[in-house]
Amino acid sequence: MSLELRCGDVVTGCGGVVSGATQDEVLVAAAAHAADVHGLTNIDDATKRQLIAAIHPVRADDRALRAR
């Protein structure tokens, strides 16, 4: 089971999705995405809590839906 974070759950209007095998991996990917796409190089504790709250498991059928 992998985990994913939809950036749009935290940043309104962003279509970015990051994923990883563990919460830490997702957070690392999210930090990279935030720096690349949003120019956000420092994620504070409040934002990190929002990110963690938004992380959820990926189901196979979710992937199939997004691939369309």
CB of 23 to Zn ion, least distance (A): 18
CB of 63 to Zn ion, least distance (A): 19
Instruction: Name which of 14 and 58 has its Cβ closer to Zn ion.
Output: 14
Q: Interface residues with Zn ion (CB under 5 A)?
A: 7, 11, 14, 16, 37
What type of residue sits at position 57?
Answer: P
- The C-alpha atoms of residue 46 and residue 53 are separated, in whole angstroms, by 11
Instruction: Name which of 38 and 59 has its Cβ closer to Zn ion.
Output: 38
Instruction: Name which of 41 and 60 has its Cβ closer to Zn ion.
Output: 41
Name residue, tokens 């938004």. Answer: 54
Q: CA torsion, points 2, 32, 17, 27, in degrees to nearest 10?
A: 40
